[in-house]
Structure 1
Amino acid sequence: MTQSPTASIRPGRSARAGRLGATGLGFALPVSLFLLVAFDVPVLMMFGWALTSAKGMFAPFIEFFTRPVYLKVILNTLRIAAIATVACAVLGYVLAYWLRSLSGTARLVALTLVVLPFWVSILVRSYAWIVVLGNNGVVNRGLMDLGLASEPVAFLYNDLGVVIGTTNLLLPFLVLPLYAAMIRIDGRILQAAETLGASRWTIFRRVFFPLTVPALAAGMVLVFILTLGFYVTPAILGGGRVPMVANMLDMLINRLPRWELASAISIILLILTVLLHLLYVRLSRQAGN
């Protein structure tokens, strides 16, 4: 009995499919193609625009470093990112430590409240701060009703408003990994320090806090990285008066336009972000150990 040609082909196809499935290539290939088209190609185009300027290969980079206005925006972005990071670190550490002290239903409810902001749009949350901190907002009304202020306090459309909104948005990104690191600390270590006569403050200062420093540092780097690329919050709560990198790129692309200069600034920001990400990965590994 003769065998049909298609019957001899099928085992080969199934074998190849089995090899692809065994190596995971069949699952990774579609995602890799998507990342190549959606991310890698635009990044390469950005490098091309920055390095093929009509004024010269490195002209956009030279212009960026020689124009004080661009450096001022970068420094202002780094300053706001640093302030927001420190604010998140202080508030986040206290909140994570409080979460660790809870148990049962109370801890579950508290963690739900921490995660709940992720379900609300950043745009909505940013506009909500206008209702709270505006000249006729809840906070200013309360201050004037209590006699603590004779006129509305300028919380918005300045650096303070941007820092408040940014801290609110990014606080969960620091609290959750820091809380996870805190609950992994073996309680027997703290009990051993207590049996040796150490006070609660000494235990926290010399045992507990040093064990959480890697996770805290990793969370701070993550918050700093996310703040560098913020656009919506500075645009809304800054009112166009707080220059940051993302807003400057919007102006260079959509208003002027200066694509080659915007690409050069994006490359510099990308390199800085990659370096910070490497630091974050290293600190995360230390926190995991």
Structure 2
Amino acid sequence: MFSGVASSWGQRGWSRLTVSRSARDYSPLLSLALFAPLLLLLSFSFLYPVGRLLAGSLFAPELNVDRYIRLFLEPVYLRVLWRTFEIAFVVMLASFVLGYPVALAMAKLKGTWAAIVAACVLIPLWTSVLVRSYAWIVLLQRNGLVNTVLQEAGLTTAPLRLIYTEGAVIMAMTHVLLPYMILPIYAAVRTIPDDLERAAKNLGAGGWTVFLRITLPLSLPGVFAGALMTFILSLGFYITPALVGGPRTLMMGTLIGQQATVLLDWPFAGALSVVLLAATLLLLSVFRKALSFNKGVSGV
């Protein structure tokens, strides 16, 4: 009898360990204990550095807001901030124009071709940003591949100035960030039932009508997610603008790096970082508010 009771208790205890439980079953103390490692990691990797930047920009060595006044009074810093947002917006648009057809092909193709397209998207994502930026230097430099082909084809008589331009920065950043646009759109398109497109075609809708009335609207959550990621990541880019753009296309990330490592003006670098972070959070909140009006992404 005792062995039967022990066996029953053992099975019951094992079932309690193996059966998943809802988060509501845990006590607040246990939930906090489970959440504590992530909270500590977030505090030391994000909250503490941001707090130090804010404190250093305001209290180094005492309360001083002259750095922020200098940032808004000197036109050069406002031009760099505007250029940063302008390039980020253009990169976001270019990534959408180039990435949407690729995401659509990934979702519609089958077999070998689908694997080939997916490999073309993922392999560059696994390559270092530094390597890809140097690849663009090799392509666009004065004696690079592009200028060599243009001259040998007779299209130009002298090398064109392709490197260290805003266009070069946009191309290189779009190349780096393109997977971040493709993958969310691909995930959204994959969730669209094929029955909707077949039903629309049976009712007489053409290919463009099906795309504009069904595919594009239902893929908007992926478009919004990809646009948000590419835009936010573009604002903080440092390596690619520094290598491909040079001093003529200075962006906020490069400017902050110069202030911190070259001029050793850490308080002003902190002020630039805080302004960029505040502008990014403001745009993020506006973006989320705009998305809340869309029925399909009200929960984003």
TM-score, with structure 1 as normaliser: 0.85
Structure possessing the higher relative contact order (Cα contacts under 8 Å, 6 or more residues apart):
1
- Counterpart for residue 237 of structure 2: 230
User: Contact conserved, 1:225 with 1:276, CA < 8 A, in 2?
Assistant: no
Alpha-carbon deviations, 1:4-57, whole Å to 9, x = none? xxxxxxxxxxxxxxx89x935445433432332232222111111122256854
Alpha-carbon deviations, 1:222-263, whole Å to 9, x = none? 111101000000010012321100111112112223222221
Query: CA separation in 1, counterparts of 2:74 and 2:156?
Result: 41
Pairing of 1:1-289 with structure 2 (within 5 A): 23=30, 25-53=32-60, 56-278=63-285, 283=291, 286=297
User: Contact conserved, 1:133 with 1:139, CA < 8 A, in 2?
Assistant: yes
What letter matches 1:184 in structure 2?
A: T
User: Contact conserved, 1:181 with 1:287, CA < 8 A, in 2?
Assistant: no
Query: CA separation in 1, counterparts of 2:299 and 2:119?
Result: 24
Structure 1 segments unaligned to the other structure (5+ residues): 1-18
Query: CA separation in 2, counterparts of 1:200 and 1:118?
Result: 32
User: Contact conserved, 1:53 with 1:60, CA < 8 A, in 2?
Assistant: no
Percent of matched pairs sharing the same residue: 38
CA-based RMSD of the aligned residues comes to 2.5
Query: CA separation in 2, counterparts of 1:129 and 1:252?
Result: 26
Query: CA separation in 2, counterparts of 1:56 and 1:40?
Result: 21
What letter matches 1:242 in structure 2?
A: T
Describe the shift of the 1:187–1:118 C-alpha distance in structure 2 as closer, same or farther (beyond 3 A). Answer: same
Query: CA separation in 1, counterparts of 2:203 and 2:166?
Result: 48
Alpha-carbon deviations, 1:77-107, whole Å to 9, x = none? 1111111111111001121122223112221
Structure 2 segments unaligned to the other structure (5+ residues): 1-25
Describe the shift of the 1:115–1:287 C-alpha distance in structure 2 as closer, same or farther (beyond 3 A). Answer: farther
Alpha-carbon deviations, 1:105-141, whole Å to 9, x = none? 2212211221111221111111011112222222222
